[in-house]
Structure 1
Amino acid sequence: MNNVLISGLGLIGSSLARAIRQRRGDVHVIGFDADRASLDWAAQHLVIDEAAADFAAGATQADFIILAAPVTVIADQLQALSRLQLKPGVIVTDTGSTKRNVLAAAQDLMAGGVTFIGAHPMAGSERSGVKNGRADLFAEAHYFLVNGNGTAEQVLTLRNLLSAAGAYFVELSPEAHDELVGAISHVPHVVAAGLAAAAADSLHGDQTKLGYAAGGFRDTTRIAASDPDLWTAIVMSNRETIAAQLRGFADHIATIQRAIDVGDATAIRTYFATAQAVRKHLDEEED
């Protein structure tokens, strides 16, 4: 039976633990979390099979190590792993939202002959924590693989384990990954947070008036409810890409601002029509 250490039992880590335990009977899931209350809850509710006494204890007995903490913690843990005597043939992966920094942090580990295959499941929720995890969180989502030094056989072995999540695997380079998620995940989070704050400012901080918001505002700003510590770490780890893409977004806002200022109905309609075409294409891709 393979031992799988999942370090970080928040939404993503606990959801992976649930999926693997439910669908892979040949796997023993060891959990670790710096928050002892989360770790105890996971053990008591059978999210994991065993709680590790500490990170090193769990890592040294694992055949697979999944690092599911925030990206800054993942980088530190990769450095810690490079100093441990791990099992021969162990495969290390992660769930971090950025990859260039993670691959850089894994260099010492890979130089020591340990296999590292970066990964990022494109699924989540504005709700965080071990109690909000669920086995179907990744069902039919895309699961990016950013290979460090794994052989084709090792990548397949990892995919077989992670197939319990029910996701679709896509292999990308670190650079392509970070640019892509910047555009479709990181910048939208920044914009959603800004929209929520701007609405509150427009209403002079009267939170009761926000209660009148209909579905459009609620849908657009839903992700602004996400964990601020997690998103600070994500933005800091991909800040150059996000900054460049935000400048592009600002150009679009400036364009519609000018059109509204002068009452240019044609330009305003073009702005909305372009966005409509993009959104319809996305809907067609999902069908």
Structure 2
Amino acid sequence: MFKVSAGATPNIRNAEQSYAQPFQVKGIKNCVQKEGAILVIAKSGISEEDAIGITGQQVPRVVTDKPVRDIIFLNKEAFDEYEKTCKKLREMELSLQDKSFDNALSAILKYSALKQKALLIEDADISSYRKLYISGHGNAGVGCLGSGSQLFSVPEIVDALQTSGILEQIKDIRLTSCGSADKRKPTSFSKEHIENARKESGTLEKILSGEKHSLAEHVSQEIWSRGFTDVHVSGYHGNGVFVSSKEENLPQSHLRSLEIPAVNIIRRSDVRVILTSQVD
């Protein structure tokens, strides 16, 4: 795990949460009418690596001149831990002569930390967001989400969304954790392997290991069972990454990979699965 200190450039290549075009920051805008926000459900235990992974989700938005997203925390301890790392990012000293990829990426993380708005749920106007990206760690076919030092079950995830009033206001919920759309881990991003990752369990699989469901399926069913049938839930195949281990160019889109460090990458939107209730 890398450490971030004021006056130093962090090694962020292996942080969770990478396409062409040389480094160019056109600007960072703050929007009045917000599109989406990032949600962190952790109670505590937000490490420096976690914090950089969360902030890294801003990178393609900065590169493509889109407004950075607000980051909402459900718990103050996790918020304070995140802000501690962001303070270090904001205070990083960067060389204007250094044209390296790592220095450019560090500059974007610093700008993101300076311009983004991190806030507690009680200070957020939930009705102003159209969609919500839930940050965390997951795996194919696993019905739980890691966030900070906690592991949240599906009912606990949905409890957090319901008690905070999110499900009443936001009808587009997206799970960005690794394997959130996978019932089983894909071996490539080919159509055949993606279909295998999402297909229903056969008789033999049910007998040997039980019926497989993705995290997105688990969460959507729990949400709908509580009467929020107008909410649709998205998951993504593969692992969430924001830096490629072999590309020396900054990402222009959010990405997924089959491995971390990332080698084979694909646009996140290309492997998105949207689940919608059949009940009106």
- Which of these two proteins has the greater Rg computed from alpha carbons? 1
Is TM (by shorter chain) over 0.5? Answer: no
User: Relative contact order: is structure 1 or structure 2 higher (C-alpha 8 Å, sep ≥ 6)?
Assistant: 2
Q: Give the helix-richer structure, 1 or 2.
A: 1
With structure 1 as the length reference, what TM-score do the two structures score? Answer: 0.39
